[in-house]
Structure 1
Amino acid sequence: MFAFIARQPILDCQKDVFAYELLFRDGKGGCFPDATSEKVAAIAERFNPLGLDDMSAQKMSFINFRAETLISRFPTNLDPQRVVVELSESPDHGSGLIEACKHIKQLGYQIALDDPMMLSSQSAILPLLDIVKVDIGKIRADYVTRRLPRFADANVKLIAENVGTHDAFTQCRELGFDLFQGYFFAQPEARIARQLPASKMNLVDLMGESSAEDFDINRINQIIERDAALSYLLLRFINNPTINKRHEISSLKHALNYMGEVEIKKFIALLSLAHLGDEKPLEVIHMSLVRAKFFDLLAQQRGQRTDPPVGFLIGLFSLLDALLDQDMPGILKQLPLVDEVNNALLGKSSEFNHYLALVRAFESALWLNVIKQSKALDIDQKQLHSLYNQAIVWGNSVRSTMSSYFPTTRSL
C-alpha cells in the first residue's frame, strides 16, 4: 500500500497538529531512501501517486534527506506546499549541499535543520533555513536560551524535539519554541482520583453498550436522543463514504439494517470517545482512532472474536488515561466494560500486550520492535505495515468527518 513509513506529529502552542514527520524504514536513520536504492522507485510508484495526504492527513510533511540525495536526485515531484525538507547532515561539510539547498529553496520548499549543533557561527546555510529542530533531551536549557535570539532574528521557527511531559512542553513554550514534537500530549497531565462528571454519564452508558454482547437498540436510541450533538455526529460517522458507500442513513435503526450490530457498536464507542475527550488535544483522539482500527484488523488476522469488537474497543480506549487525566485502574472502575476489555487495558492480556507493543513501535518508528512483534504474532512484517497503513487512512477519514472537532491546517 505504501513504502514502510511511520509518522510522528508536530504540534503548535495550542497542541493542534501542524505537521507529521515521516520516517522511512528503508532509509538510513529514517531518511528518504538513498538515491541508488531500489526502494526509491517503489516509493515513486506506490507512495507519491497516493499523495502525502494519505499519510499526513492533509497536514505538512517533514521528510529527512541525506546530503547525497539532495545533491544528486532530489525528488522534485513532491509538493513544495506540503513538504518541508529536513537536513540530516551538517551543511558546512561541503559547498555542494549549500548549492542544492539554494536550488530547493528556489523551487518553493521550506528547509529545516535537524540539529543546531551542526551550525558553525558563520554558517552559509542559516539564511536558507526556515526551521531548526532542537532535541531538548540532548541540549541544555541555558544553551537554548543563549541561541534563541539568533534564530528569532533570522526569522527561523524552532521545534522542540523529544518533548515527553506536559511540564517539558510548558517550559519549552515559555522559552520561545514555536512547535513541539513528542508524545507529551498522550500523557495524563495529573493523575487525580475523581469521579467522571454527571454530564458525561450518557457517554459512559454508550461505552458500556458498545462492549456488551447483547444489543439493545432501544436502549442506545434513548441514550443518543438525550443529546442532539450525539445524534448529529452519529449520522455523520455512519454516512462517511469510507464506512458506508451505498446508502444514505437517516437513523440508528436504519443503520442497523445495513451495517449490523458489530459496526454499530464500533461507532457508538467512537461517539462516546469523541465527546469524552472534547477538552484534550485532538491528536489524542486521532491516535485512538488509528489504534482502534489497527487492533481490529489484527484481531481479525489472528482469528479473535469480533462481537463485541474487543480489539477495536481496546485500541480505542487505550489512551483513556491521557484523555481523562487519571490512571487506568481508576477509570475502569467507573466504566461498565466487559472483563476482556478491562483486563487488556490493565495489561493483563498477553495477546493484546503484543498489539500495544506493536502499535507503539509503529508510532515511534522502532523497526526492530516491529520485527520482534511480527514473530510473536506470526504475521508477516509486510502484512503488518499494510494493516497499519489501512488504519491510518481510516483514522484520517473519520477525523475529517469530525471536521467541527478538528482544526484546519495551519501555516508557519
Structure 2
Amino acid sequence: MFAYVARQPIFNVARETYAYEILFRNSEQNCFPDISPDEATSRILTATHLSFGLEEITGDKLAYINFHRDTLINHFPTSLDPTKVVIEIVETVEVDDALVNACKHICSLGYSLALDDYNADKKWQALMPFISIIKFDVREMKQERISELVPELKRSNIRLVAEKVETYEEFKRFRDMGFDYFQGYFLARPEIFRHRQLQASKLAMLELLTASAEMELDFDKVEGIIERDTSLTYLLLRFINNPLFNKRNRITSLRHALNYMGEVEVKKFIALLALSNLSEGQPDELLQMSQVRAKYCELISLALREHDNPPTGFLTGLLSLLDAMMEQPMEDLLEKIPVDEKVKAALCGEQNLLKDCLQLVTFFEAAHWVGIKSFALKYNLKQKLLHRYYIESLKWACAMHASARSKS
C-alpha cells in the first residue's frame, strides 16, 4: 500500500527544528475520507507500518504522530521506536478506563505522550499523569486563557507547544509566556521593517546566484567570483561532492563538475550553495524547506514536460523563501537577480504554472489535501504521483542536509 504523507516542522525557542508532525492519508480514493482526519492518519500508519522509512522523512528529528482511540487501546504505537516518536492523542478521543490503561502502558514503555489541541476540559485529568507534552491551538483558545493555564502546567514539568503561530511577534509572545516549542509559519514571514546588511561574502554569493540563473552558465564569470573568496571553492565542492549524486568519482574542480554532472545540475548546486550562504544566521529549516520546494517544483515541472534551462521549477522553489532569509521584500530582492520572467512572476504572486507548482508544495506543508486533489485534477496528474514526488523531495533534502553536516 502506498502511504501519502506530509510533514510540518516544530521549532524550539532558538528557532531550530526540534521535530516534525507527520500526517498520513491512505489512498487516492480516501485521501479525503468521510471519517475523522485524525482517525485516517492513525489507520494508514497502522496499515503501512511506515514501510517507506520514518527516518527518510524526518532525518534525525523526532516525529509527532496523531493516534486515535482504537490504535491507542490496541497498543499500535508500540511498533515504533520510542526514542524517535511522540505519540499525539487527538482531542476528539473518548476518555475512559480502557484509554487511560492503554496510555499508562504506552508511557511505561518509554514513549512520550502529547495532548493535541488542549482545551483544559476536565476529561483530560485522568490522562495527565502520563502526559509530558501539551499542544495549544493559539487560534482556537484565547491568549488570556492560555496564560492562566501555563504556570500550573509548567509546575508539572509539562512541555508546551504553541500551534498555528503565524507571525514572529506571536512567536516572541508565546516564548516569553513559557512555551517550549512552536508550530506554524512565523519563520517564513520576513520582518521587512529591517534589512540585513550584505557583507562582501554575501555580495559574492548573490553574484554567484545571479550567474547560475542565466540561460547559459558563464564559467569564466563563476570562477572569477570564486577567486575573490577561496572558501567558496571548498564550499562549492562540498555540495557538488554530495554522495547522493556522485557515488564513484570525486569532483576536483568546477570544470570537472561541468563535464561529469552537466551544466544544468551544476547550476542547481551553485544556486543551492549561494542560498545556503545567504541564509546564514537564519534557522536551518528555512534552507531545508527551500530545498524540498526546489526538488519538488523541479519534479512536477518535469512531469508536466517543462524542460526549460535553467530548470525554472527548481529555481522557483529554491528562491521561494529568499525574502524570509534576507528579511527584505521579494520584489526588491528579485531586482538584483536576472531570473526568468516566469520565475519572477511566480515568486511575486502572479498566477502561472510555476506559481501553481509552488502552491502545490505549500499544500503539502500544510497537509491541505483538498488543494492537492484540485491540482491533480487541473493538470491531469495522479495524486499518487504527487505524493511520491513529495516523499522523494523530502529524502533528497534530508540527504543534502546530512551531507553538508558531515562535511562541515
Quote the residue 2:320 is aligned against: 318
| Alpha-carbon shift at residue 193 of structure 1 (Å) | 6.9
- The amino acid that maps onto 1:22 is I
Quote the residue 2:352 is aligned against: 350
What is the alpha-carbon distance in structure 2 between the residues aligned to residue 126 and residue 207 of structure 1?
52
| Alpha-carbon shift at residue 224 of structure 1 (Å) | 1.9
Quote the residue 1:43 is aligned against: 48
Quote the residue 2:295 is aligned against: 293
Structure 1 stretch 164-173 or stretch 301-310: which is displaced more?
A: 301-310
| Alpha-carbon shift at residue 243 of structure 1 (Å) | 1.5
Quote the residue 2:15 is aligned against: 15
Deviations 1:71-92 (A, max 9, x none): 0251422110001000003666
State the secondary structure of the residue aligned to 2:48: helix
- The amino acid that maps onto 1:31 is D
What is the alpha-carbon distance in structure 2 between the residues aligned to residue 261 and residue 405 of structure 1?
24
Structure 1 stretch 232-241 or stretch 163-172: which is displaced more?
A: 232-241
What is the alpha-carbon distance in structure 1 between the residues aligned to residue 107 and residue 160 of structure 2?
18
- The amino acid that maps onto 1:43 is T
CA contact (8 A) 1:3 1:42 kept: no
| Alpha-carbon shift at residue 209 of structure 1 (Å) | 1.3
Structure 1 stretch 375-384 or stretch 197-206: which is displaced more?
A: 197-206
Structure 1 stretch 102-111 or stretch 244-253: which is displaced more?
A: 244-253
Quote the residue 1:82 is aligned against: 84
Structure 2 residue corresponding to 1:102, chosen from 96, 104, 107: 104
| Alpha-carbon shift at residue 226 of structure 1 (Å) | 2.3
What is the alpha-carbon distance in structure 1 between the residues aligned to residue 151 and residue 93 of structure 2?
21
What is the alpha-carbon distance in structure 2 between the residues aligned to residue 284 and residue 247 of structure 1?
30
State the secondary structure of the residue aligned to 2:19: strand
CA contact (8 A) 1:85 1:110 kept: yes
- The amino acid that maps onto 2:380 is D
| Alpha-carbon shift at residue 210 of structure 1 (Å) | 1.0
Structure 1 stretch 188-197 or stretch 164-173: which is displaced more?
A: 188-197
Quote the residue 1:332 is aligned against: 334
What is the alpha-carbon distance in structure 2 between the residues aligned to residue 22 and residue 391 of structure 1?
15
What is the alpha-carbon distance in structure 1 between the residues aligned to residue 109 and residue 385 of structure 2?
37
Q: In structure 1, list runs of 5 or more residues that go unmatched.
A: 407-412
Q: In structure 2, list runs of 5 or more residues that go unmatched.
A: 27-32
What is the alpha-carbon distance in structure 1 between the residues aligned to residue 40 and residue 237 of structure 2?
43
Quote the residue 2:30 is aligned against: none
Deviations 1:134-193 (A, max 9, x none): 111111122112111211111100000000000000000010000000010011023457
Cα distance change on mapping 1:301 and 1:90 into 2, 3 Å: closer
Cα distance change on mapping 1:122 and 1:399 into 2, 3 Å: closer
Deviations 1:38-85 (A, max 9, x none): x456512xx34x431111121000000001110025142211000100
Cα distance change on mapping 1:113 and 1:394 into 2, 3 Å: same
- The amino acid that maps onto 1:246 is R
Structure 1 stretch 52-61 or stretch 1-10: which is displaced more?
A: 1-10
- The amino acid that maps onto 1:239 is N
What is the alpha-carbon distance in structure 2 between the residues aligned to residue 194 and residue 51 of structure 1?
39
Quote the residue 2:38 is aligned against: 31
CA contact (8 A) 2:342 2:352 kept: no
Q: Is 2:144 the partner of 1:142?
A: yes
| Alpha-carbon shift at residue 329 of structure 1 (Å) | 1.0
Deviations 1:319-357 (A, max 9, x none): 111111111111111223232322222233511121122
- Output the TM-score relative to the length of structure 2: 0.92
Cα distance change on mapping 1:118 and 1:395 into 2, 3 Å: same
Identity %: 41
Quote the residue 1:237 is aligned against: 239
What is the alpha-carbon distance in structure 1 between the residues aligned to residue 57 and residue 161 of structure 2?
21
What is the alpha-carbon distance in structure 2 between the residues aligned to residue 84 and residue 32 of structure 1?
17
Structure 1 stretch 244-253 or stretch 288-297: which is displaced more?
A: 244-253
CA contact (8 A) 2:190 2:325 kept: yes
| Alpha-carbon shift at residue 133 of structure 1 (Å) | 0.3
| Alpha-carbon shift at residue 269 of structure 1 (Å) | 0.1
Aligned ranges 1:10-409 → 2 under 5 Å = 10-26=10-26, 29-31=36-38, 33=40, 39=44, 42-44=47-49, 47-48=50-51, 50-89=52-91, 93-117=95-119, 119-120=121-122, 123-192=125-194, 196-403=198-405
- The amino acid that maps onto 2:8 is Q
Q: Is 2:5 the partner of 1:5?
A: yes
What is the alpha-carbon distance in structure 1 between the residues aligned to residue 178 and residue 274 of structure 2?
36
Cα distance change on mapping 1:30 and 1:243 into 2, 3 Å: farther
Cα distance change on mapping 1:122 and 1:10 into 2, 3 Å: closer
What is the alpha-carbon distance in structure 2 between the residues aligned to residue 318 and residue 10 of structure 1?
20
State the secondary structure of the residue aligned to 1:84: strand
What is the alpha-carbon distance in structure 2 between the residues aligned to residue 41 and residue 136 of structure 1?
30
State the secondary structure of the residue aligned to 1:117: coil
Cα distance change on mapping 1:40 and 1:126 into 2, 3 Å: closer
CA contact (8 A) 2:62 2:86 kept: yes
- Output the TM-score relative to the length of structure 1: 0.91
CA contact (8 A) 1:212 1:337 kept: yes
What is the alpha-carbon distance in structure 2 between the residues aligned to residue 404 and residue 328 of structure 1?
32
- The amino acid that maps onto 1:51 is G
CA contact (8 A) 1:66 1:89 kept: no
Cα distance change on mapping 1:100 and 1:114 into 2, 3 Å: same
Deviations 1:181-239 (A, max 9, x none): 00100110234578845442211211111111222212212212322332222222111
